[in-house]
Chains A and B, each alone.
Chain A
Amino acid sequence: MFSSLMPQRKEFFDLLAAHSDRVVAGANAALRLVNSLGSNSKDVEALVEEVNLNEKSADKIKSDLITLLHNSFTTPINRDQIHTLTLDLDNVLDTLQDVANAVAMYHIKDSTPEAREMASLSADACMRLNRAVITLADKKRSQETIDLCKEIDQIESRADKVLRKAVAKLFQDGGDVWMAMKMREFYFLQENVLDYCEEAAKTIEEILIENS
């Protein structure tokens, strides 16, 4: 009865939602980037920049959130869980940035169907992550949150399969070794994005279990 009278501090959820908005924007930019490989190089540069900008703006949100954590008596969910979740979201954006910068670093000129599939899976996962963070603020929607986390998990499993298939294809006899080295690295960077999405989903599930 007293807990509803306590300061609610909904701004933590607002900041987490804003943070996950940046994740979605970054993932979409990365998807467009991978899809536009092999066409216009101007577009590619602009899209790499877009991913970087989203990462930067997310860093700002993260630091605001941590400052707010230091200046709040009460938090709507556990202090360390808020911290863990914002670090997870930060990791997703960092890996998206790694993917975008790898394009220039490894001089990747053309994408592959597998790279496009991985990029689209990571955009799917990030979109669900965003919705899961938003629904987390509303206890009545916890079932929806749980379902979203499960979907993220499934998407990650699918990406694992795509990755194995893609790497196998690269190292088929008579393939281009140079290309295989580059793309192998690229695929693994793409897979990292999904791994961190899964981490974030796990954190959200833990929050739900503790507050159920």
Chain B
Amino acid sequence: MEGLTISVWVLALLIAVALAFDFMNGFHDGANSISTIVATGALTPKQAVLFAAFFNFAALWVFQLKVAATIGKGTVDPSFVDHYVIFGALCGALAWNIITWFYGIPSSSSHALIGGLVGATIAKSGSLAPIVWSGFGKILAFIILSPLVGFLIGGLLMVLVAWVFRNHSPRQAGRWFSHAQLFAAAAYSLGHGGNDAQKTIGIIWLLLISAGAATADVQTLPNWVVYSCYFAIAWGTYLGGWRIVKTMGTKITKLNPVSGSCASMGGAISLGLATLGGIPVSTTHTITGAIVGVGTAQDVKAVRWGITLNLVVAWILTIPASGLIAAACWKLGRSFLG
């Protein structure tokens, strides 16, 4: 077991950074799923954050670790990865997240993580050889596909609801949806937890493989990794959900119980499908796609296209940028990490 040359402390530090990344993800996105249920008074803010945190964690029992597997062994060749690469990947992703947060670009932390991983791996190997193109290609394709799928499903759900309730006023329909939106928000939280927590699981898995503490076989992945990752995202959601004032829901188009439910459900279905297929996607971009789809169904002019255009910028920039930072961090890590 050559890999076990790294110290337990370095290993613990990197796992802590990975969990912090996971926590930040929950903290950042927690408000998305609950903004509409709080705004319409279906739940109090406290109930809502507990609700969202619970379903983020509950995803643990719903989804298999397919997304984790794609990150852990399907993006880059695990035998190339060492702890420097993981350090670089995490630093690159964190740095890019802070930069985009500062400039208000709706970037995806998932893409940043993958960009960081790929960037640090390339820096180490000096070539593109360790990239597993089947996995990475799938991820690249779904950067564009996942918001589109969200857009389609969200829009079609809105059309379906409009037909089902065509002889009711929006207010009457809204009364019915005060319950439906709880279901939709729960589904969305499940999808969020399932896809996003597994990305961190994948990174820690990769780290454990490189340290020789686990193999590419899912059986060797310790349970505490899975539990702590889901816990970190749920806890992040619980704490971050409080900042419900400004969310995607109000920035892109106005949402009411009906359109809010359709958007959440559209996002949830898209995320669920991606998670079942083992594809890491950006939850923020997926729900954004669903919100835009719902907005378009109601009125094309109700969509603030400027904000949606920012997404496209984020699509193109995130992976190269976080990859570059990760490559630099990889170099840095080599000079002072044991």
The residues of A with any CB-CB pair to B shorter than 8 Å are 1-3, 5-7, 9, 69-74
Nearest CB of chain A from residue B249's CB, rounded to whole Å = 18
CA distance A2 to B159 in the complex (A): 7
The 7 A-B residue pairs with the shortest CB-CB distance, nearest first, are: A2-B297, A2-B155, A7-B166, A73-B165, A5-B159, A6-B162, A73-B166
Residue in B161, B169, B298, B300 whose Cβ sees the most chain A Cβ within 10 Å:
B169
- Return chain B residues, CB-CB under 8 Å to A70: 169
- Return chain A residues, CB-CB under 8 Å to B155: 1-2
A-B contact pairs, 7 of them (CB 8 A): A2-B156, A3-B297, A5-B159, A5-B297, A6-B163, A71-B168, A72-B168
Nearest CB of chain A from residue B80's CB, rounded to whole Å = 44
Q: Which of A3, A5, A6, A71 contacts B167 (CB 8 A)?
A: A71
Known contacts A1-B155, A73-B173; decide if A7 and B297 are in contact (CB<8 Å): no
CA distance A70 to B155 in the complex (A): 24
Nearest CB of chain A from residue B8's CB, rounded to whole Å = 55
Cβ A74 vs Cβ B296 within 8 A: no
Cβ A3 vs Cβ B300 within 8 A: yes
Query: B258 — nearest CB in chain A belongs to which residue?
Result: A73
CA distance A3 to B300 in the complex (A): 8
Q: List 19 additional contacts besides A6-B159, A73-B165; criterion CB under 8 Å.
A: A2-B158, A2-B159, A2-B293, A2-B297, A3-B298, A3-B300, A5-B159, A6-B158, A6-B298, A7-B162, A7-B166, A70-B169, A71-B169, A72-B166, A72-B168, A73-B161, A73-B162, A73-B166, A73-B170
CA distance A1 to B155 in the complex (A): 9
- Return chain A residues, CB-CB under 8 Å to B165: 73
Q: Which of A1, A9, A69, A72 contacts B296 (CB 8 A)?
A: A1
- Return chain B residues, CB-CB under 8 Å to A71: 167-169
Query: A69 — nearest CB in chain B belongs to which residue?
Result: B169
Query: B155 — nearest CB in chain A belongs to which residue?
Result: A2
Cβ B299 vs Cβ A3 within 8 A: yes
- Return chain A residues, CB-CB under 8 Å to B162: 6-7, 73-74
Query: B173 — nearest CB in chain A belongs to which residue?
Result: A73
- Return chain B residues, CB-CB under 8 Å to A3: 296-300
Nearest CB of chain B from residue A28's CB, rounded to whole Å = 36
Residue in B168, B296, B297 whose Cβ sees the most chain A Cβ within 10 Å:
B297
Nearest CB of chain A from residue B289's CB, rounded to whole Å = 13
Mark out the residues of chain B between 268 and 319 whose CB falls within 8 Å of any chain A CB in the assembled complex: 293, 296-300
Nearest CB of chain B from residue A1's CB, rounded to whole Å = 7
CA distance A74 to B299 in the complex (A): 11
Q: Which of B158, B159, B169, B299 contacts A72 (CB 8 A)?
A: B169
CA distance A71 to B173 in the complex (A): 10
- Return chain A residues, CB-CB under 8 Å to B161: 73
CA distance A3 to B156 in the complex (A): 10
- Return chain B residues, CB-CB under 8 Å to A72: 166-169
